[in-house]
Amino acid sequence: MEDLKVTASGYDFKPARAAMQRYVDNNLLSGISWAVMSGRDLIDVDCVGFADKEAQTPLRTDHIFRVFSNTKLVTSCAALLLMEEGKLGLDDPIEKYIPQLGNRQVLRPGATSLDDTEPAKNPITIRQLLSHSSGLSYGFFDPGTVIFKALDERGVHNPLTTLAQMVDVLADLPLIYQPGTSWEYSLAIDVVARLVEVISGQSFDAFIKARIFDPLGMVDTGFFVPEKDHGRLVPLYNGADLMEPMKPGLTRADNYPFPGAYLRPIARLNGGGGLVSTMPDMVALIRSLLPGGRTLLKPETLTQMMTNQLPDGQWIRFALLGEQPGRAFGLSGGLIVKPSPYDHPDASGELYWGGIGGTQWWISPKRNMAGVMMAQRHMSFTHPFSFEFKRLAYEAVKQGGARAVA
């Protein structure tokens, strides 16, 4: 297990701690923990609030979180490990390995039925899967659309089905845009998880345990929590109003995304969002992607991870948030090309992503810093607390570096 001992001094995180305590005091978060690194040195590790608000259990760094879409970083790393071994190429068509995903049909703009399609002009590539530019969709971010209805009716998210069965469902459905021409958050990373299985000949959980978790000492990361550790799993909470994120109020969401989730093994090894993890494990993973020591991937691979994969002027978009100008996508997460007013000015070039429950990681080559935040509030990947904490963390690193130079 990764040691979370702070190894560098001179950084003032009191403003960040006070800000996060306000979110707890105002009933906007049950609790939040974080770890921030300058280079590979931990410069702050802390927890505020509660793991379990009702039981008043103080949050600790060994508590287990549903990390949801932080899982995508693990899945992307798994595919890139196979790339380094020459077992796949980023521009390989996916049908080279999963034949049923070839010969795609694409919904025409404004299509009102699954039959209103045209042939795909190009095959889906692995690069497009990793960068969410393949034409696939999640569906649930665009409720009411043709593809949302189709994916829902055919049970593509059914946790009792395997990755192979999920791919069979996707094989019969059209894409929502021509591969490589747009960006849509999607099931693509679950397809990548199936790709890892096909190429490696192992189940996805076995591969990532052998190649990522065990080498990095990530002892508490997996697709379910062993019974002996159920007491360490932090409850998930809903906010009072999705459209008013600063409205006080939290209610437990113990049965999300389904009753008993994460408490027992299930068939779906969800490479896009199925893992649980802890702060020490997430720090171990992020640290393994930073220069200055042994890394999980080769330096040239890490450079590719942090390089924009989208055409110039194309930005990520979510249905409720719209397009996010200045935010592009690499091979494992979002890229801040131009910091927004909500970001710290030093965030340019940052690679980041997070989960729907409020866990998040980021790596900033410009400022030579990285961090992990762990919270459990549903639909809070873009909640104000995460932006505020990161701004204050950047400022602490900037001021600490200035003091060190002086």
Would you say 151 and 173 are in contact if contact means Cβ atoms under 8 Å apart? Answer: yes
Residue 363 forms beta bridges with which residues? 351, 370
Output the pTM of the full model. Answer: 0.97
Contacts of 353 (CB under 8 A, 6+ apart): 69, 70, 72, 73, 332, 333, 334, 360, 361
pLDDT number for residue 139: 82
CA dihedral sign, ordered 61, 62, 66, 67: positive
Confirm whether 14-69+222-405 and 76-204 share one CATH topology: yes
Please state the CATH superfamily assignment of the domain spanning residues 76-204 in this structure. DD-peptidase/beta-lactamase superfamily (3.40.710.10)
Amino acid identity, position 373 = M
pLDDT number for residue 204: 98
pLDDT of 290-314, one tens digit each? Answer: 999 999 999 999 999 999 999 999 9
pLDDT number for residue 211: 98
pLDDT of 128-177, one tens digit each? Answer: 999 999 999 998 777 778 999 999 999 999 999 999 999 999 999 999 99
pLDDT number for residue 143: 72
Q: Which residues of the chain have pLDDT under 50?
A: none
Contacts of 170 (CB under 8 A, 6+ apart): 101, 136, 156, 187, 191
pLDDT number for residue 183: 96
Domain positions in the chain are 14-69+222-405, 76-204
Which element (helix H / strand E) includes 147? helix 146-153
pLDDT number for residue 403: 67
Distance between CA atoms of residues 218 and 144, nearest Å: 40
141-145 long-range contacts (CB < 8 A, ≥24 apart) are 141/185, 141/318, 141/319, 141/320, 142/319, 145/176
Task: Say which CATH topology domain 14-69+222-405 has.
Answer: Beta-lactamase (3.40.710)
Distance between CA atoms of residues 192 and 177, nearest Å: 19
